[in-house]
Every structure is written in C-alpha cells, then in structure tokens.
Amino acid sequence: MPVPTTREVIPGAAVHIILKKDQPTGRTVSGTVAEVLTRGNHPRGIKVRLVDGRVGRVQSLSSGGEAPEERIGLDAYVTNSGGRQRGRGNRGRGGQGEGQGPSQGQSQGQGHGDFEYGIVTCPVCGQFEGDEAAVAHHVAGHFD
C-alpha cells in the first residue's frame, strides 16, 4: 500500500503515523497533523508533527469512523537517553570556573548547571524535579 502524498497530508488531517522508535515493530499511532515537516513526497512516508507533539512518518490517512484520540501511554513521555554521557568531564567542577567559590555558584539558582547533574522536570505536570530515575518513577504515578 503506497503512503499518502503531500497533497493528501495537510495540517488538520487525521493520520496514522509510525514513530521512529517503532520502525522495527511497525506499530502506528493516530493523530491530527499540526505541521508537515517534509518538503516533498518520501518513499517511507511524509514526516509530520501531530498536535500532541509526537513526530513520525505518515503511513495512511485515518477514516472518519475511527476514534480521533487514543490514550497516550507512558512511553510517549519517557525516552531513552541514547547512551550519552552528560557532564562526565565536568564532575567535581560543576561547570564553574576556577575563580568561583561555592557561594557564587549557589547564588545562580537553577541554571544550566542542573543539566550537568541530570536534574530533570516531570514532563506531565511540570512541578516535580529530580534525577532521571526519580522522575521516571514519578511520571509512572500519573498513569496508575
């Protein structure tokens, strides 16, 4: 079955997309196109951003009889870090210059230094902060 063309995939269209992480399994999700990201036709499908923020390639158009919205699972919010080693070279320094003491570094509050230590905010409520494992556990609580 051929994938839809740029004439068919327009903002507001109901579509079935395959997320990049689901390419090996072929699992598709439904949604409404917010933005078309591919300029022309593509053999594996036109890349789009849905209104809920997910990005993937359009596999087919949705018919009007299907449910417009599906329940979004935890996997839509939690992503694998991809093995990147963040801040490993800056341990002990905290990303501060040598001329700064602890009092100067603390007066900055929460800036880009939090990223080096892996402090993240809950993507669901935006209020809970902690390391990656703590936030993953907290996010799971939103879906229980």
Q: What is the pLDDT of residues 21-75, one digit of tens each?
A: 988 888 899 999 999 999 899 999 999 999 999 999 999 998 765 544 455 566 6
Supply the pLDDT for residue 107.
42
Q: Give ranges for CATH 2.30.30 in the chain.
A: 1-71
By the 10 Å C-beta count (0-12 exposed, 13-18 middle, 19+ buried), 95 is classed as middle
Instruction: Give 105's pLDDT tier (boundaries 50, 70, 90).
Output: very low
* Reported pTM: 0.47
Q: For the chain, give the mean pLDDT.
A: 75
What values do phi and psi take at 137, rounded to 5? -65, -45
In CATH, what is the architecture of 1-71? Roll (2.30)
Mean pLDDT of 118-127: 84
**Upper half-sphere CA count for residue 114 (Cβ side, 13 Å):** 11
